[in-house]
A and B are shown apart, each in its own frame.
Chain A
Amino acid sequence: MRLSDYGQIDRGNAVSFRFDGKTYGGFQGDTLASALLANDVRLVARSFKYHRPRGILSAGSEEPNAIVTVGSGVHQDPNVRATVQEIYNGFEANSQNRWPSLKYDLLSVNDLMAPFLSAGFYYKTFMWPRAFWEKLYEPVIRRAAGLGALSGNPNEDTYERAFAHCDVLVIGAGPAGLWAAYQLAQTGLDVILADEDFRMGGRLNSEADQIGGKPAADWAAEIVAKLDQMDNVRLMTRTTVTGAYDGGTYGAVERVSHHMNDRGGDCPLETFWRIHAKRAVLAAGALERTIGYANNDRPGIMQAGAVRSYLHRYGVATGKRVVVFGNNDNAFRTAHDLSAAGVEVAAYVDARADAAIEGNFPIYRGAHVTDTKGRLGLSSVQITDGGRNHSIAADCLAVSGGWNPTVHMTCHMNGRPTWNETIVSFVPTAGSIPGMSVVGSAAGHMSTAACFESAQYIAARVAGDLGKATPSDPLPTAENAAYAIEPLWAVPGKARAWLDYQNDVTVKDIKQAAQENFRSVEHMKRYTTQGMATDQGKNSNVAALALLADTTGRGIPETGTTTFRPPYSPVAIAAMGGEARGMGFAPERFTTAHAVAKEMAAPMIEAGLWYRPSYFPEHGETSWRQSCDREVLMVRENVGVCDVSTLGKIDIQGKDAAKLLDFIYTNMFSTLNIGRVRYGLMLREDGHVMDDGTTARLGETTM
């Protein structure tokens, strides 16, 4: 439902789009997810394995559920996250992994067979006969468990590769990234500020905060406008920095025209950037995590921070009656903000018995959500509160299990994050990437004021390292709320509780992996497929390894994380390939005699990129052998001409020209007379043949 007084969408620019064949309205500045939620569409997908009905969980690139196919025909683009895809007039998307329709999906029978489909079921079930795996089992499983499909036709979109250089690359344009970039830019350094979103500001666009006495989103827009005016700053929106590589090189993918209805033409769909930076500042923020409890995957169950994003940024109430469940102070914000916007908060459920919170809605302390109901969308929430059970009618459940600093990029060169007890999360380990500093909530700073402070501190050090004076802007005033959190990974219970929504991995699967002795975090991951989907478990990995730690009786730091590898979010292979496909990959090179050779019907042979005639058939000849025999006889008895102009030519001059050739060829060239040509054979120093060629002596010292 759209709210009139909220949001940064452009209400003057209405947009019409289609989802699963039905037409809806939205605004410029909407993502597909926000526009669907504004139209009260909650069911948008089916899960990978059990075909469970799924809705929108997040408001960012970490989305595991709301995966759709955009467009049709050759432009069909599968597995697009509805939470990052902008809508435009004529935009069309379809749900995937369902048949015949999203509402009535026949393969949801898999869900009833769940007891037989637990972790590693295919390793145990489909063992014999061996030959059946490739021919029968795998094709059937692949058809049943699926993502979207390509059109099957060659891709007609254009992609580009590009290079950029700068003094400092700032990754992420939330409060910390914006402030670091703004401070560094004022010293005159060349700054690139890249953000995966189409609107810079990060969480500032999604909170009710005030910065320096202004609404946070307005403050962010002002800083972005100032940066935009500076010649030494390059702002890159819709650009995800995907990986950190040796020597200060970063990969980044820019979604250039995914948000335009006239894709194609001069504009590439995506550009893959290689950015070289003397220094980098990682301000990638933090990702909210979920909590495990029975049936925690129904459409209408969302991350608490995402509910605030839809409220403040898109002016969308994600429900009419909302329950908020959390284990930290940040979750309470959602209840507070919804209530202030006039949305009914049916209950605020805090796992902490001592949570210091107040509000004009029912508050349950030391309570848990234990189960949910609603077949195609949430209808009620069961909670337990000191032994008493309640059923609360609700169409939206906002959940916060705490926030994980986005440490991914700091681990791309084999670094491992460090466990921080205070915020119950992994934080980056200093010095993991040479030349990269981490600021803001990516470094574990959980208030906006602390984000600004860390950005200021790092900006001063980076400026100093690059020989610039320390920028001296006063810190903007911002909220500095405490972030109290008590660990809660999963609510005890027997029914299935989801962790990895995209790959349908449950709490039970993790425990089973541990019981079957897949106790290493890397083994658990592969046995259960936890974190192996396109979202790479961004909101579930930490809970999964914490549960593994509990089950195996080890601590979380001892259990450790799996390896974070690039890319941070999915990158189309076509974007990395860029122009290097078809003729761009292997251009055709023709000799000046090409047209004549074609006229004589000579079959062509490829020599490198060159096309050379293989032989010249004459009338009546039916096989290559006849032509070749005739040509060979001609050369033996008379004379033949061979066009070798496609071969490289090297001009060797100087008094030792002949001596050099004697050295590199097996035969003698110093005895060659002027005006004569000789064939020679080159060997490597270990005696293997390296190359051959002919050499002409043009003069005493010229070969």
Chain B
Amino acid sequence: MRIPCPICGERDRREFYYQGDALALNRPDPDAGDAVWNDYIHNRDNPAGVTSDLWHHEAGCSNWLVVTRNTVTHEVLGAELASKVKGEQR
């Protein structure tokens, strides 16, 4: 598996540390209520298809990335800086 880091270029996945679903970028408001927080903390989609997750380029530029990939074909569709993705959400 190869991840196209926006800073370093395409690299072997062994350079990266996998964190989990990119959902972590959408933390609910502290007052959002138990149901929303429960959903955020415990419930994850398990899609057969496109998914986004957070990877840390541990042995590279040390940036956090949002990697989009297909769980069926194992194709890596792209990677963006997590800071950029978060910035665009604001």
A-B contact count (CB 8 A): 24
User: Judging by beta carbons under 8 Å apart, are B1 and A246 in contact?
Assistant: yes
Chain A binding surface SS class: mixed
A259-288 contact mask (Cβ, 8 Å, vs B): 1 or 0: 000000000000000101000000000000
User: Judging by beta carbons under 8 Å apart, are B41 and A685 in contact?
Assistant: yes
A163, closest chain B residue (CB):
B12
User: Judging by beta carbons under 8 Å apart, are A686 and B41 in contact?
Assistant: yes
Give bound CA distance, A246 to B12, whole Å: 11
User: Judging by beta carbons under 8 Å apart, are B42 and A686 in contact?
Assistant: yes
Interchain CB contact (< 8 A) of A249 among B1, B27, B42: B1
Report if A188 contacts B (CB, 8 A).
Answer: no
Give the Cβ gap from B36 to chain A, nearest Cβ, in Å: 13
User: Judging by beta carbons under 8 Å apart, are A248 and B41 in contact?
Assistant: no
B45-75 contact mask (Cβ, 8 Å, vs A): 1 or 0: 0000000000000000000000000000011
Report if A25 contacts B (CB, 8 A).
Answer: no
A564-599 contact mask (Cβ, 8 Å, vs B): 1 or 0: 000000000000000000000000000000000000
Give the Cβ gap from B30 to chain A, nearest Cβ, in Å: 11
Contacts of B22 in A (CB 8 A): none
Contacts of A215 in B (CB 8 A): none
User: Judging by beta carbons under 8 Å apart, are A247 and B76 in contact?
Assistant: yes
Interface size bracket, B side: 10 to 19
Give bound CA distance, A413 to B73, whole Å: 9
User: Judging by beta carbons under 8 Å apart, are B42 and A276 in contact?
Assistant: no
Give bound CA distance, A276 to B74, whole Å: 16
Most central of A163, A245, A247, A276 by chain B CB within 10 Å: A247
Report if B2 contacts A (CB, 8 A).
Answer: yes
| Known A-B contacts A685-B41, A686-B41, A686-B42; A274 and B12 likewise in contact (beta carbons under 8 Å) | yes
Give bound CA distance, A55 to B27, whole Å: 68
A245, closest chain B residue (CB):
B1
A684, closest chain B residue (CB):
B41
Give the Cβ gap from A252 to chain B, nearest Cβ, in Å: 15
User: Judging by beta carbons under 8 Å apart, are A246 and B74 in contact?
Assistant: yes
Interchain CB contact (< 8 A) of A276 among B2, B40, B75: B2
B42, closest chain A residue (CB):
A686
User: Judging by beta carbons under 8 Å apart, are B2 and A249 in contact?
Assistant: yes
B74, closest chain A residue (CB):
A246
Contacts of A248 in B (CB 8 A): 2
Contacts of A413 in B (CB 8 A): 74
B24, closest chain A residue (CB):
A685
Give the Cβ gap from A572 to chain B, nearest Cβ, in Å: 21
Give bound CA distance, A685 to B40, whole Å: 9
Contacts of B2 in A (CB 8 A): 246-249, 276
Most central of B12, B27, B40 by chain A CB within 10 Å: B12
User: Judging by beta carbons under 8 Å apart, are B12 and A276 in contact?
Assistant: yes
User: Judging by beta carbons under 8 Å apart, are A247 and B1 in contact?
Assistant: yes
A-B contacts, 17 listed (Cβ < 8 Å): A245-B1, A246-B1, A246-B2, A246-B75, A247-B1, A247-B2, A247-B76, A248-B2, A249-B2, A274-B12, A276-B2, A413-B74, A434-B75, A685-B27, A685-B41, A686-B41, A686-B42
- Pick the 6 closest A-B CB pairs, nearest first: A247-B2, A246-B74, A686-B41, A246-B1, A247-B1, A685-B41
Binding site for B on A (CB under 8 A): 163, 245-249, 274, 276, 413, 434, 685-686
A246-B74, A247-B2, A248-B2 are known; give 12 further A-B pairs, CB within 8 A: A163-B12, A245-B1, A246-B1, A247-B1, A247-B76, A249-B1, A249-B2, A274-B12, A276-B12, A685-B27, A686-B41, A686-B42
